[in-house]
Amino acid sequence: MSDTLLFAMEATLNGLTAGVMYALVALGFVLIFKASGIFNFAQGVMALFAALTLVGFQSGQIPFSHLINAMFGTRLHHFGWNMPTLLAIPATVLVMILLAVLVERFILKHLVNQEPIILFMATIGLAYFLEGVGDIMWGAEVKALDVGLPKGMSGAVDDATFAWFGYGFYIDRLEIWAAGIAALLVAALTVFSQYTKQGRALRAVADDHQAALSVGISLRFIWVLTWSIAGIVALVAGIMWGSKSGVQFSLSLIALKALPVLILGGFTSIPGAIVGGLIIGVGEKLFDFFMSPIIGGATENWFAYMLALVFLLFRPQGLFGERIIERV
Partner 1 sequence: MLYREAGDFKTSYVADNQTFPIKFDRYGYYFILGFAFLVMPLIINDYWANSIVVPFLIYAIAALGLNILIGYCGQLSLGTGAFMAVGAYGSYKLMTAFPELNIVFVIILAGFVTAAVGVLFGLPSLRIKGFYLAVATLAAQFFLIWLFTRTAWFYNYSPTGMISAPERFVFGQAVTGPRASAVSMYMICLVFTVATAWLARNLTRGSLGRQWMAIRDMDIAAEIIGVNPLMAKLTAFAVSSFFVGISGALLFTVYLGAAEAGEAFGIDKSFLVLFMVIIGGLGSIFGAFAGAAFLIIGPVLLKLLLVNGLGWPTDLAAHLEVMIIGALILVFLIVEPHGIAALWRTIKEKLRLWPFPY
**Residues contributing to the site for partner 1 (CB under 8 A):** 39, 66-67, 70-71, 106-107, 110-111, 114, 116-118, 120-122, 124-133, 135-136, 140, 256, 259-260, 262-263, 267, 295-296, 298-299, 301-302, 305-306, 308-309, 312-313, 316, 326-328
CB of 117 to partner 1, least distance (A): 7
Smaller CB separation from partner 1, 102 or 188: 102
DSSP string, 167-227: S----BHHHHHHHHHHHHHHHHHHHHHHHSHHHHHHHHHHH-HHHHHHTT--HHHHHHHHH
Residue 212 identity (one-letter amino acid): A
Q: Select 190 or 292, whichever has its Cβ closest to partner 1.
A: 292
For residue 128, the 8-state DSSP code is H
SS3 143: strand
Kindly tell me which of 128 and 221 has the beta carbon lying closer to partner 1.
128
Which phi and psi angles does 276 have, rounded to 5°? -60, -45
- The amino acid at 244: K
Compare residues 129 and 221 and give the one whose CB is closer to partner 1. 129
Minimum distance from residue 255 beta carbon to partner 1 (Å): 11
Give min distance, CB of 276 to partner 1, in A: 12
| Helix, strand, coil tally for the chain in percent (to 5) | 75, 0, 25
- What angle in degrees, to the nearest 10, is found between the helix axes of 173-195 and 3-36? 30
Instruction: Tell me the closest approach of the beta carbon of residue 132 to partner 1, in angstroms.
Output: 3
Nearer to partner 1 by Cβ, of 135 and 158: the residue is: 135
Q: How far is the CB of 105 from partner 1 (least distance, A)?
A: 12
